[in-house]
Structure 1
Amino acid sequence: MTNNDAQPQLLFHIAEHDRWKACVDSGKYSPASLATEGFIHCSYERQVQRSLDKFFASHDEVILLEIDPVLLRSGLKVEPADGDSFPHIYGEINTDAVVVAELIIRDGNSRLTFNGR
């Protein structure tokens, strides 16, 4: 396999349950950060647990969106943040780019846990 044949990494976005549910029927999803920061925060698989722990520790449940970047209609940039590089989507997420929407609830240790793919 050459680099030209490599599959792009899947993107992950942690969504609040009610916000995701309200947007599904419209075919497009936009969290508050799109309006306040101009982009949607995403993670690569290896970064998901860190994002859950840092930004969603007070939530009882979230929806983890797995996004195929090839299907994404909005712009995508990988930018430095917190000593790492994170994907940011500059525009709404078209819901047909979401290949998995997984409910994550607190585990026995009262933690939102992502077990990876």
Structure 2
Amino acid sequence: MHQIVHICSQPDWQSAQTAGEYCAASLPTEGFIHCSRPEQALDTANRYYAGQQGLLLLWINPATLRAELHWESSHGEVYPHLYGPLNLEAVSQVTPFSPDVDGVFRSLPKA
């Protein structure tokens, strides 16, 4: 299975390092962590994070996840949703993820 990605803030990722796992704000409120396929990440970033600085892109290996991963329809596409905390060893790479000067995300960092 190909990698999936999740957008998070630097402080949230730092907290995960201390906690030993990552729990997005959506986990207690919606029951899952929103993820994307890499080719969906720019649309997601521009829809929810336009103009935000200090973001990271977590590259996740689905084969090493402990929590259940479900593919569900949203906004006319199918997205991966992680139903539980993200175990840190499933994150294969963390890359800075910033918009251009006009606040628009136009390219993904290389994994």
Aligned to 1:28: 21
What SS class does the counterpart of residue 112 from structure 1 fall into?
A: coil
Contact 1:45 1:116 in 2 (8 A): no
Q: TM-score, normalised by structure 2?
A: 0.91
Q: Does 1:64 align with 2:57?
A: yes
**Which has the larger Rg?**
1
Larger deviation, residues 92-101 vs 22-31: 22-31
Distance 1:108 1:38 in 2: 34
- Mapped partners of 1:15, 1:106: distance in 2: 14
- The number of residue pairs the alignment matches comes to 110
Question: What stretches of structure 2 of length at least 5 have no aligned partner?
Answer: none
Alignment partner of 1:111 out of 83, 104, 107: 104
Identity percentage over the alignment? Answer: 32
CA contact (8 A) 2:51 2:104 kept: no
**Structure 1 moving runs of 4+ over 4 Å:** none
1:80-91 → structure 2 map (5 Å cutoff): 80-91=73-84
- CA distance change for structure 1 residues 15 and 47 in 2, over 3 Å: closer, same or farther? same
Match of 2:3 in 1: 10
Is this contact kept in 1: 2:51–2:102, CA < 8 A? no
Q: Give the whole-Å Cα distance in 2 for the aligned partners of 1:87 and 1:115.
A: 18
Does the aligned pair in 2 maintain the 1:10–1:69 contact within 8 Å? yes
Q: Using a 3 Å threshold, how does the CA distance of structure 1 residues 20 and 116 change in structure 2: closer, same or farther? A: closer
> Superposition RMSD on alpha carbons, in Å?
1.4
CA distance in 1, matches of 2:55, 2:77: 23
Range moving further from structure 2, 57-66 or 45-54: 57-66
